[in-house]
Amino acid sequence: MLVLDDPGKVQELTEAWRRAGERIGFVPTMGALHAGHQALLARARAENTRLVISLFVNPTQFDRPDDFRTYPHDLPRDLRLAEEAGCDLAWTPTALQMYPPGPPTVVEVTGLSGILEGAARPGHFRGVATVVTKLFHIVRAHRAYFGAKDWQQAIIVRRLVADLKMEPEIVICPTVREPDGLALSSRNVNLTPEERRAAPVLFRALSWGAGEIRAGRRDPDALRRGIGARIAAATAAPLDYIAVVRPETLEPLLAADPPVLLALAIRFSRARLIDNLLVEA
Ligand code: PAF
């Protein structure tokens, strides 16, 4: 596995691969790799002839300095896992390479970026859209892989690619969970032992909601109340939102006719977690 930091060299190499007829799969990450990333890498490895991972903790998508400060880092471990996953190239740019000094160019997908996670974390999706645009221009991938846990991010990236006529097909892969249902996230390491014991309630409550919808319940307020009550019985951590929305547009629903996305965010003491469940038509 080649490890490069220089964006110019990454672009040169991926362009050369394309000219040679290779199909390039790309998994953009902020490091702190876990089994969720490994599932993205395994799928990308299977579907392409070349596999590229980027490892870059993007400062512009953090709305809170303490979240940026406590975001876990372990580059040697990440590089070992990337190599084990069969990556041909690991790209580890520096903040200065990604954001040269001076007033920056930013990219924003309006509308979708201002609701749910975007309302709770102002500027977050502008940071994501900006860095993903740069990553996609440098890694000339055919396909890029994103996890369904960050559903809103994935559909914003799909919209970005469609609007800017960029190439990679955006592949959304299922959320990977611990055996007790907790969605894997790099931030889970910041949970206290007590919070970690309570956290599987998020998936249990979402699964209850999905079951109710499948059983014909349509009232979004009743679904939100039921999900909220189940979570409140397990933890005093405050919820940012519980949403019952259309998966492709994130529009709130007056009646929960599938397809429905149930999504939530909760603030534990040192980790804000999100999770969601898709109830398909
Ligand atoms: O999902 C992530 O890890 C990040 O938001 C991404 C897509 C790598 C952009 O920094």
Q: What is the arithmetic mean of pLDDT over 166-176?
A: 98
pLDDT of residue 263: 98
Give the per-residue SS3 of the chain: CEEECCHHHHHHHHHHHHHCCCCEEEEEECCCCCHHHHHHHHHHHHHCCEEEEEECCCHHHCCCHHHHHHCCCCHHHHHHHHHHCCCCEEECCCHHHHCCCCCCCCCCCCCHHHCCHHHHCCCHHHHHHHHHHHHHHHCCCCEEEEEHHHHHHHHHHHHHHHHCCCCCEEEEECCCECCCCCECCHHHHHCCHHHHHHCCHHHHHHHHHHHHHHCCCCCHHHHHHHHHHHHHHHCCCCEEEEEEECCCCCCECCCCCCCEEEEEEEECCCCEEEEEEEECC
pLDDT of residue 183: 98
Residue length, the chain? 281
Catalytic status, residue 142: no
pLDDT of residue 14: 98
Q: What is the arithmetic mean of pLDDT over 1-14?
A: 98
pLDDT of residue 218: 98
Q: What is the pLDDT of residues 87-111, one digit of tens each?
A: 999 999 999 999 999 999 999 999 9
Residue in 128, 134, 155 to alter for ligand 1 test, most ligand atoms within 8 A of Cβ = 128
Q: How far is the CA of 158 from the centre of ligand 1 (A)?
A: 14
Query: What is the separation, in whole angstroms, between the first and last Cα of the chain?
Result: 42
Which residue owns the Cα nearest ligand 1 atom 8? Answer: 29
Q: How far is the CA of 28 from the centre of ligand 1 (A)?
A: 6
Query: 173 vs 29, 46, 279, CA distance in Å?
Result: 14, 13, 15
Query: Within 13 Å, how many C-alpha atoms sit on residue 27's CB side?
Result: 32
Q: How far is the CA of 29 from the centre of ligand 1 (A)?
A: 5
Domains of the chain are: 2-173 (3.40.50.620), 186-276 (3.30.1300.10)
pLDDT of residue 224: 98
pLDDT of residue 79: 98
Q: What is the pLDDT of residues 111-165, one digit of tens each?
A: 999 999 999 999 999 999 999 999 999 999 999 999 999 999 999 999 999 999 9
Catalytic residue among 37, 73, 137, 142: 37
Q: What is the arithmetic mean of pLDDT over 210-222?
A: 98
pLDDT of residue 41: 99
Residue in 34, 37, 131 to alter for ligand 1 test, most ligand atoms within 8 A of Cβ = 131
Q: How far is the CA of 217 from the centre of ligand 1 (A)?
A: 35
Query: Within 13 Å, how many C-alpha atoms sit on residue 159's CB side?
Result: 19
Q: How far apart are CA 276 and CA 281, in angstroms?
A: 16
Query: Please, which pLDDT band fits residue 268 given cuts at 50, 70 and 90?
Result: very high
Query: 234 vs 62, 170, 212, 228, 273, CA distance in Å?
Result: 28, 36, 20, 10, 15
Determine what percent of the chain is predicted with pLDDT higher than 70: 100
pLDDT of residue 163: 98
CA-58 nearest atom, ligand 1: 10
Q: How far is the CA of 214 from the centre of ligand 1 (A)?
A: 32
Pocket of ligand 1 (CB under 6 A): 28-30, 58, 61, 128, 131-132, 150, 153
Query: Please, which pLDDT band fits residue 34 given cuts at 50, 70 and 90?
Result: very high
Residue 137: both structure tokens together: 């221009």
Which residue owns the Cα nearest ligand 1 atom 5? Answer: 128
Q: What is the pLDDT of residues 173-191, one digit of tens each?
A: 999 999 999 999 999 999 9
Round the average pLDDT of the chain to a whole number and report it: 97
Residue 57 CB burial class (10 angstroms; 0-12, 13-18, ≥19): middle
